[in-house]
Chains A and B, each alone.
Chain A
Amino acid sequence: MDRLLSHALILLVAIAIYVLASRQLVRSIRAFAVQSYVLAAVALIAAPKSEHPHHLWLLAALTAGVKGVAVPLALLGAVRRLKIRHDIEFIVNIPSSLVMAAIGTLGAFQIASRTFGTGEEQLKGALGAGMATILVGLVVMLGRRKIITQIVGLLIMENGVILATLGLTLGMPLIVEIGVALDVLVAVQILAIFAYRISNELPRGEGPPP
């Protein structure tokens, strides 16, 4: 089980970095969906160790259902219906983003190992992986121009924070409610994308297709 877990954690960070290095909008949305499934699997692995396993089951279902299916479908629908161009526009280019992500990842694992020493951590490695994912998500969010890519960055940050919380505490009280609240936040942002279309005006850097 522990080996499965560490593979899953590596996969989670790797997917975040893949999104960071991706030039294709649709691919990064799909990658995010896969990341959500992996996160749901981590929550399921963690559940038996937790005080309240059913909270984590709910969280896993929520993550897989909302972030694995509904949100990616809505984002893909937005890309298709609003005819957003598929290539990603950068504020920070890929090599610099990767360097920032590498430094961030190392720092995250450093902080995680310093905070807890050895053997104390509940879900080995999840805190470091979660914080690394948050930082990579932050770079995606701040370093890309289109609002839809910024939302993907934010979603990756959210996955990271849930992972870090699992690693720190194996889920806290209200974790399900917090997960729902995060989903509401994203839902409103996706609504905002459609609102742009309703007003028939697109934000800067998001011109009509060529």
Chain B
Amino acid sequence: MILVLVLLPAACAVLCLALPARWALAAHGTGAVATLVLAATLARQVLSSGLATAAADGTFRADGLGVTFAVVVAAAAAVAALSGMGSFETQGEAAPLARRYAVLASALLSALLATVLADNLGVMWISMELAAVLGAFLVGFRRDRGALEAAFKYMILGSAGLVLGLLAMSFVYKAGIQALGHGDSALSFQALKKAGPSLAPGTLRIALALAAAGYGVKIGLFPLHTWKPDAYAAAPAPVAGLLAGGAVAVPLCALLRFGALASAAGEGQLTSRLLVGAGVVSVLAAMILVVRETDLRRILAFTSVEHMGFAAMAFGLDPMAMRGGLLHLLANGTLKALAFSLLGYVARERGTSDTQRGPGLFGRSVGLSAMFLVTMAAALGFPPFGLFASELTVLRALYAGGHVAIGLVVTLSLAAVFGVVATGVLRVVFARSDESLPGARGSLADTAAVAVPTLAAMAWVGVAMPPGLWNQLLAVAREFAP
């Protein structure tokens, strides 16, 4: 089951190679949805039984954390793939580009799933490295100067992060050798966690600090976020959705695994402080940095810094907050994927994604305006959608845990970012401008067919989350919280 889940998108990528562009896009979309269904089935199986399943001699192992992140990644990928289908020309000269996107995005999904489901830390690292390479190709997809620069920045900063992550892994292996002896088991997350109390805490402290610095780059926590706005602005819309919704959550999963190992060795307090510190600083910095941006894509990139910081902070608190953090990642991933894809259509309709220029969207397409407004409201944490529920859960845990100062800072930052983004969105939709553009209207029905079910699902998560699932998430949080 795990191997099928990891290999399905890879097989889909190979299939896309052989298909004509239009069919390749469809195959990518179908593959992503099938992957989501598989991931959800696996998650249900693992979460309801509370037992992890292993595959390939224990190289892969679906534990509570892994399956939750697998669902996050697959959901973002499915939404991005389906809603982004209309972003590519499938006729004429641009057709090979569409096929290339389908191949790369499918392969990226496979690498991301392998990363979150790997039990062997070495396999986890290699998968993440593979994802970084594929991600760089996708960011530089348009091959103009801006895209290549953004891709290079993404690549070089990400590589530096990966090198530090590799060093962190060496330190963990060192601690593992002392407790478990040489061999694969000293790199197995499961075995290491079980041997937790006998791991040398000093070694794991260094490993955790290195992992936080290294994977912090890939998550895009302040001040290591600088690649994010460039990459998301340069990448094609569905790619930005996949990266912002799914790919950034994956290194967070890796960091949580290092945190869980450090906590098992008795360094829970350090883990907690590190995650909360990095998270709060990111939320605060995102608020300050987002103000001067005028391009809606870059604004969304900074809200990604904010939301990943928020999730990291939640993971550093108690299990109740961590449960909210897991839900936050799911809601944020899905809604970001949808928001970026829709933004692609909005930019095409208006000729720009800049909030200060261009005609109002409302005058050009009422249907798209409505969809865009609702999606952005959901992505900003408006009730009744999932993000509202998750933010409320985390904030409640924050205040209940006596972290009133942090709670106030975070609440204020969320409100301020909300204000900035909402202003930008409203301007984009209702701007008055004399500029007239040639009509380039795409089919609205296709987009609505994805956006409406996605939003409905998120509203369901926000309002009517089944208590059983909610408790299962708490069990995962109890297992992995510092």
A residues in contact (CB < 8 Å) with B: 51, 111, 114-115, 131, 134, 138, 141, 147, 150-151, 154, 157-158, 161, 164-165, 168-169, 172-174, 177-178, 181-182, 184-185, 188-189, 192, 195-196, 199, 201, 203-204
Contact = CB atoms under 8 A, between A and B. Distances in A.
Given A134-B163, A178-B166, A147 B156 contact: yes
A128 to B, nearest CB: 13
Nearest to A162: B166
A169 B176 CA distance: 10
Interface stretch (B91-99, B119-127, B398-406, B430-438): B119-127
Nearest to A199: B143
Contacts of B7: none
B148 A196 contact: yes
A168 B152 contact: no
Given A51-B182, A178-B122, A172 B173 contact: yes
**What's the interface size class on B, roughly?**
35 or more
Interface in B114-163: 120, 122-123, 125-126, 129-130, 132-133, 136-137, 140, 143-145, 148-149, 151-152, 155-156, 159-160, 162-163
B155 A173 contact: no
B166 A154 contact: no
Contacts of B125: 178, 181
Given A147-B152, A185-B132, A168 B174 contact: yes
A110 B440 CA distance: 63
B170 A165 contact: yes
24 contacts: A134-B163, A134-B167, A154-B160, A157-B160, A168-B170, A168-B171, A173-B120, A173-B122, A173-B184, A174-B122, A174-B126, A177-B122, A178-B122, A181-B129, A182-B129, A182-B163, A185-B155, A189-B156, A189-B159, A192-B155, A195-B148, A199-B143, A201-B145, A201-B148
Contacts of B144: 199, 201
Contacts of A111: 206
A165 to B, nearest CB: 4
Q: Which of A154, A185, A201 has the most CB of B within 10 A?
A: A185
Given A131-B167, A151-B156, A188-B136, 8 more contacts: A115-B202, A115-B206, A134-B167, A165-B170, A168-B170, A172-B169, A178-B122, A188-B155
Contacts of B186: 172
What 10 pairs across the A-B complex have the smallest Cβ distances?
Answer: A174-B122, A165-B170, A201-B145, A168-B174, A181-B129, A172-B173, A168-B170, A157-B163, A161-B163, A181-B126
Nearest to B128: A181
B170 A169 contact: yes
Chain B residues touching A, majority SS: helix
Nearest to A186: B159
A204 B148 CA distance: 12
A141 B183 CA distance: 34
B335 interface: no
A59 B290 CA distance: 45
Nearest to A147: B152
Contacts of B145: 199, 201, 203
Nearest to A175: B122
Contacts of A169: 170, 173-174, 177
A178 B167 CA distance: 12
B118 to A, nearest CB: 11
Interface string B342-381: 0000000000000000000000000000000000000000
A157 B123 CA distance: 21
Given A169-B177, A174-B122, A189 B129 contact: no
B135 to A, nearest CB: 11
Q: Which of B120, B122, B156 has the most CB of A within 10 A?
A: B156
A184 B132 CA distance: 11
Interface string B451-482: 00000000000000000000000000000000
B156 A150 contact: yes
A138 B163 CA distance: 10
B155 A168 contact: no
B410 interface: no
Interface in B387-419: none
Q: Which of A177, A184, A188 has the most CB of B within 10 A?
A: A188
B152 A189 contact: yes
B160 A141 contact: yes
Given A51-B182, A165-B167, A196-B148, A177 B126 contact: yes
Contacts of A138: 160
B240 interface: no
B203 interface: yes
Contacts of A173: 120, 122, 183-184, 187
Interface in B202-218: 202-203, 206
Contacts of B169: 172
A195 B137 CA distance: 11
A181 B186 CA distance: 21
Contacts of B170: 161, 164-165, 168-169, 172
